Amino acid sequence: MNSRKKMMNEPSSEKQRWSLRKISVGMTSVLLGATMFWASGAGSQVKADTTTASEQAAQTQTNTARKAAGTESTEQTEDNNANADAGKTAETPAATNNGSQETTTESTAASSSAQNQGQAATATSSTTTKAASSILSQADSETANSNTSQAVTATSSATTEAVSSAANQTGQKVSSSNNKSHEAKAHTTSAASGSISQVNDGQPITGLRHYSNNKLEYYGKDHVQYRNRYASQGNKWYYFGSNGDAVTGLRHYGNNKLEYYGKDHVQYRNRYASQGNKWYYFGSNGDAVTGLRHYGNNKLEYYGKDHVQYRNRYYQEGNKFYYFGGNGDAMVTIRGAIENGKFNIYDIRTNKLIKSLDAGTWENLAYSMDANSINNVDGYLSYSGWYRPIGTSQDGKTWYKTGAGDWRPILMYVWPNKDVQAQFIKYFVNHGYENANYGLTKVLVANINKGTDATVLNTAAQNLRYVIEQSIATNKGTGKLANDINGFAATVPELSASSELSVQSIPNYKPNESGTVDNDQVIFVNDADSKYRLMNRTINNQTGNDNSDNSPELLVGNDIDNSNPVVQAENLNWEYFLLNYGKLMGYNQDGNFDGFRVDAADNIDADVFDQMGQLMNDMYHMKGNPQNANNHLSYNEGYHSGAARMLNKKGNPQLYMDSGEFYTLENVLGRANNRDNISDLVTNSIVNRQNDVTENEATPNWSFVTNHDQRKNLINRLIIKDHPGIAYIMGSAYKAEYANQAWQEFYADQKKTDKQYAQYNVPAQYAILLSNKDTVPQIYYGDLYSETAQYMQEKSIYYDAITTLMKARKQFVSGGQTMTKLSDNLIASVRYGKGVANANSEGTDSLSRTSGMAVIVGNNPQMAEQTISINMGRAHANEQYRNLLDTTDNGLTYNADGAENPETLTTDDNGILKVNVKGYSNPYVSGYLGVWVPVVSGNQDVTTNAATVSADSNKIFESNAALDSHMIYEDFSLYQPEPTSTENHAYNIIAQNAALFNNLGITDFWMAPAYTPFSMSRYNEGYSMTDRYNLGTNANPTKYGSGEELANAIAALHSAGLKVQEDIVMNQMIGFSGQEAVTVTRTNNRGIQIYVNGKTYANQIYFAYTTGGGNGQETYGGKYLSELQSKYPDLFTTRAISTGVAPDPTTRITQWSAKYQNGTSLQNIGIGLAVKLPNGDYAYLNGGNNDKFKTILPEQMGSIGYYVQQELKNKTFLPRQSYGRSSRRQKLRKQRNLVKARLKSTPAAVISISRL
């Protein structure tokens, strides 16, 4: 809102205006007078909107170099250009009062050159001296047209409104302040003249007056304020706008005139300024120059009619051609001229002809040397890119100037070598581009090769371009050409995926059932973009000094650099977002995740576990508080046993995954044959269960029979079996129908007694798992339901057995545990009951006698019938046990229905239970399974409340009866299909079945990774995602549903008493859409360089897909860091162990890029795509943010540097501008020399060509 109002009740005469009495009352100065007005409020200033011609005339100064005032407008833009160019150093003033920012650029070199050496700019800018009389003559005109003249919009900010007339405000306090004092002041005006004066301590002031927030105004010797006019003090010039404030930023005036005022309001003279990426130079009279400007030691630059300096572009003046580089300087002393159809290149200084390009050659040059005409990735050119040539021809005689849309493949003009050039000619001739008139027939080109004379190849290639242009005209577009050029590139090893050297190309390579190729990796070579990328700081190798059991860094996709403090802060932001998901998204206030299942934990910098644990402890106060901790489980996925040691040292911030238990169950019970010794079930896990009677001693852990990864591996084994000899079957040769075929085989095999692929003894494995002490068991969705049917619509053959055991765990499984080997093929596992520690304990709980369980498992289907004795413990002497699960020839029985053993058995006086067993072979059991529980009436719950267990104040999770009372349910399969309706969305079905999950004994719901996958994801699941914050929308739901449905499902599970953990994927991201030119080295999964078939590569430019993140990342990435820093400051002061640096909350990652990544799996792009020159240097296009090197292009596209280098040598480039002796200039020189030293050779000369 404008704070200036039209003045009311102004004094009617000059005499009356000054007849004011000042009365001092205490510290308050009050102005009295019948025609007085007031300014109210601290820092307020009241000013008239116009001034009269007579006032302007009275303000005239005698400086002869003054400028005449003209109709003006000022503009200010935010400048993010932090470049410091040679000869032009950047200065960034503070933001102006209107909210925008100005960025000015000050050249100490150019300024001192003009001022100290007396060199003036020789440009077309007017240097007219404006005398005081000129100002006087224009004053009346300005005032008369004040209503239509353009308003000043620079930093002349709004002032506080005038409040009311003096008559109504007698006795009010005037509170106007400047930047030096808080004395009372008041403006005075004249109704006749409209002039304004400023009173200071009763005396009208003159000269410059600073006030408020960097405000400046000027009062002449007659005390009248300057408006719409210049003023000077010493050699400093100012311009004061229509409200009297000195302007800042660019000011347009007169006939295409432009001047600039810095943050100090001083006019720029003999110096540079920049706004955005636009540069200007202001001459000795303050006007922005146009045209060619010579300066320094034979330096040259050019400014267009809009006063903007030319950078990375051509300029032609008459028959002279110039090219201006990234810092605005003319790069070379070469000029070009079109003479008799040829493009001739001369040395400007000697006028010597350097090179002559024939017609048909120079037309192929790029239309402009910038991104407007040349595809590039970070300045580097790719053979897969296109560019706009100057002209095209269908016959070599008539040439047509190209339009903005007339781009052609670079591979039509430039090739890595003669061999590829010859292949290009032959491929196109053999794919529909024959033309006998040009000698382009299959027969005539059959014998050309890399040994063919270069002139012959170049002529054939040029003729082929004419034929291609004819095809474009015929097909009315370049669609066919694009397909053909891609088809050709795929046949050239260095331009296609084969150049990346996949280990799949090794003879007799055997595909890995995991579906990934672990050693197909490239690492991003550390450069200025990252000083982190600490590889393999996993598990116990956090400091880089313990390789005893560390896991490789690189796994799949783009590997995120979790050692980077900015990434670590982003991880905390993401975790906070998920833990508050429903609230932050406005979906459901109770739809927030409670914890995490951490994917690929073995492959992540171990710092993240410290930081996740710290965040959750800060939020939920979990350390030493089992009740809070157990409400917020987090559990890591990892198959390295060393992770247990790591987590124990850290106070167990997450649960360890007991992979040893998984492998033991598989090897002892799951195999078809050659099964391991059954006693391994006792000892081969993180817990020895021979006599497990302790609390709070075992490593807190979770365990499983199978999961989505293991089921995927099984399906992949079938695919590999069904398609032998296809090395790339898990890569580019993979097809969805192969998986469908494998699933049919699996389902059929699962129902068989003699299985080939599916696991054996799944119910027996779950019986062991669900009766074990000191673990949190995990149930897999695919063992309960069909994985390829609609969600939860078809039960598996094991559903009844597993759910019976799940419910029994909640009712009976408690107390100490003893596992006893009864024979080489038979084992018994006994849980003694709630409050019963061991076989000799009487029990301490009311449920001691009615709880407990005996599980009997055998792994030999030929085991002879026998009677075994099981010690159920003294607490269970003379107690009846019922037959919960038993085995028969046909399968399993429930509650003795059809069982061979009786419905109940009774222990003897010592608590010994005797059971008949024998080996069986059916689709459910290969060996034996029997489960016995006490006979009880009704339901009972033997779980333990966390509030009743003791706690270690230094630990978050502890293994005890309370933690054992949890059961995790993995709710998804990678292969579950897309839902057929909204009703079939997994989230909606989960919400409907929340009570069922509770009844089954599930306490913790492991939700599928909810992130929207990238479009080419193999399983369309959230492990392959680029946007961590997009969990599905109504318009674009995931295959599980929308984010709102997810929040509602979480809330429904909460209402049923369950907690929900999200699968958090911090190791990798897959499917970025944006490319960067990154320097890579071929490595294995530990980042160590390897050779494949005797070949390797290092420090090569690779156009990797590394940038993106989606709208979610852009919106929410880093959004909550300030909030986190305020609530939990310790998160950002605790130094990470791997780096010694705390997470960095100052940088938001709104888009991912290579600087936040360690490397990537091979992306099948091609390692040889970056265009190189014959000398081995990479072609490069300087411009915008691409400023690593000078522009250097292949000769076919515009650069002739390597042709003229021997003649021009160091004369190719003009001498660098002197920077004097100042330390800043010396520093700039050092920086330039450092960059120069990094170049392999002097960049090639670049010339201009005329526009057709």
**DSSP codes of every residue in 805-852:** HHHHHHHH--S-EEEEEEETTEEEEEE--TT--STT---SSTTTTT--
Q: What does each C-alpha distance from 499 to 1095, 1096, 1100 come to in angstroms?
A: 10, 9, 12
Q: What is the mean pLDDT of residues 1101-1122?
A: 97
For the beta carbon of residue 446, count every other beta carbon within 10 angstroms: 11
Helix (H) or strand (E) holding 1225: helix 1223-1238
pTM: predicted TM-score of the whole model, two decimal places: 0.73
Q: Which structure tokens are listed for 222?
A: 């007659």
* Contact call for residues 162 and 41 (beta carbons, < 8 A): no
Strand ranges (E), 670-786: 701-704, 776-780
- Chain center to CA of 720: 35
Summarize pLDDT for 769-796 with one digit per residue, the tens.
999 999 999 999 999 999 999 999 999 9
Residues 640, 1153 contacting (CB under 8 angstroms) = no
Provide mean pLDDT across the span 643-658: 97
Instruction: Note the pLDDT of residue 395.
Output: 93
Q: At residue 1070, does pLDDT exceed 90? A: yes
SS (H, E, C) 1062-1099: EEECCCEECCCCEEEEEEEEEECCCCCECCECCECCCC
Does the pLDDT at position 1103 exceed 90? yes
**CATH number at 505-517+526-677+697-757+764-795+942-1081+1097-1146:** 3.20.20.470
Is residue 153 within 8 A of residue 142, CB to CB? The reply is no
Distance, in Å, from the CA atom of 1109 to the CA atom of 1115, rounded to the nearest integer, reads: 10
Residue 732 or residue 352, greater confidence: 732
More confident residue, 1109 or 65: 1109
pLDDT at 349: 62
Mean pLDDT value of segment 946-962: 97
* Tens digits of residue pLDDT in 615-642: 999 999 999 999 999 999 999 999 999 9
C-beta separation of 930 from 887 below 8 A: yes
Q: What are the residue boundaries of the structural domains of the chain, listed by start?
A: 14-68+128-279, 505-517+526-677+697-757+764-795+942-1081+1097-1146, 814-938
Question: For residue 319, what pLDDT band results from cuts at 50, 70 and 90?
Answer: low
Instruction: Supply the pLDDT for residue 313.
Output: 82
The pLDDT of residue 1187 is: 84
Res. 258: pLDDT tops 70:
yes
| Fold type of domain 14-68+128-279 | left handed beta-beta-3-solenoid (2.10.270)
pLDDT tens, 786-843? 999 999 999 999 999 999 999 999 999 999 999 999 999 999 999 999 999 999 999 9
8 Å CB contact between 767 and 681: no
**Percent of the chain residues past pLDDT 90, beyond the cut:** 70
Considering the domain delimited by 814-938, tell me its CATH architecture.
Sandwich (2.60)
pLDDT at residue 70 in the model: 33
Under the banding of pLDDT at 50, 70 and 90, the label for residue 369 is confident
So what's the pLDDT on residue 1212?
Answer: 32
| Confidence check: pLDDT of 382 > 80 | yes
pLDDT of residue 521: 98
Is a pLDDT exceeding 90 seen at residue 278?
Answer: yes
Predicted confidence at residue 325, as pLDDT, reads: 80
Classify residue 293 by its DSSP letter. Answer: E
How confident is the model over 51-66, as pLDDT tens digits? 333 333 333 333 333 3
Relative to beta strand 229-233, strand 236-240 is antiparallel
Confidence of residue 989 (pLDDT cuts 50, 70, 90): very high
How many other CB atoms sit within 10 Å of the CB of residue 121?
25
The average confidence (pLDDT) of the chain is 82
For the segment 435-472, what is each residue's pLDDT rounded down to a tens digit? 999 999 999 999 999 999 999 999 999 999 999 999 99
Length of the chain: 1252
CATH fold match for the domains 14-68+128-279 and 505-517+526-677+697-757+764-795+942-1081+1097-1146: no
Residue 473: exposure state from Cβ atoms within 10 A (0-12, 13-18, ≥19): exposed
